[in-house]
Structure 1
Amino acid sequence: MSNLARELQQQKVTQKVEKQHQIKIRKSWLTPGEKIIGVAFAGLVCFGGITLISTQAKIYELNKDIQTVEAKVKEQQKVNGDLEVQVSELSTYERIYQKAKDMGLVLNENNVKVVQEK
């Protein structure tokens, strides 16, 4: 073989060896800093979501408690109104006079004092 043929053959062999020895360097889509920032952002979003949901749950519980208290207040107001009506019915002059007569009290018109409310 001539030198030229030998050189061509050696070049082909070295090119094949170089192609085999080339290490493919894969470039990442994101740098490590960007990955850290992305993970931190995702963590903050999750934390914010959990905080928001827990706050809404607390608000729901408080509103439920407020509604139960308001229902109790309305019920008590109804009872109080009924009792006021009952007091007004029982405190009429005729009823008091009848009770006094039943207990043996006699109305003495000479011994009556009028008291006026202010």
Structure 2
Amino acid sequence: MSYYYRGNLAVELEKNHSRKKTKRTIKIKPSIPTGEKLLYLLFISIIVAGAGFVGVRYSEISQYNYEIQSLRKEIRINQEKNAALQLQIEQMSNRDRIVAEAEKMGMVSNPGSVHVIGQNDSTGKTKTGMTN
């Protein structure tokens, strides 16, 4: 009844078990040499640095493209403003408008005080000087 003294699962029935001792040969793989590890590390570092450089340059190119687009838009807006101002200059320098504005201000026309420089005469030659 000694079986149940320590519980039925903890009892060994036969105590004369013979274990065979076998020799195992363990093969140890040689590790990668230190120089080769450093070479791999250098290679990976160069690749990471190159990828970083390409990324930075791509970022700069994108920024330059954005600036170019904004400057082109600004140029287009300025050209439209210049065209509107040029039209306004042409309208303001119209002789009939100037005469009408002068008459509104109370000015009178005196043809005798007008001096014309570089007017063509009837012969087709250019006169230089003042006429009264």
The alignment's TM-score, normalised by the length of structure 2, stands at: 0.65
- Aligned pair 1:20/2:17, yes or no? no
Identity of aligned residues (%): 27
* Structure 1 letter corresponding to 2:73: A
**Which residue of structure 1 lines up, in the alignment, with residue 80 of structure 2?**
78
After superposing the two structures, state which structure 1 stretch, 86-95 or 107-116, moved more.
107-116
Q: CA RMSD for the aligned pairs?
A: 2.3
* Structure 2 letter corresponding to 1:37: L
| 1:24-62 CA-partner distances (Å, limit 9, x unpaired) | 33234x432112101110111011101111111111011
Q: Summarize the alignment of residues 1-118 of structure 1 with structure 2, pairs less than 5 Å apart.
A: 20=23, 24-28=27-31, 30-116=32-118
Which structure has more helix as a fraction of its residues?
1
The alignment's TM-score, normalised by the length of structure 1, stands at: 0.72
Superposition deviation, residue 112 in structure 1? 1.8
Structure 1 alignment gaps of length 5 or more? 1-16
Structure 2 alignment gaps of length 5 or more? 1-20, 120-132
Higher RCO structure (Cα 8 Å, ≥6 apart) = 2
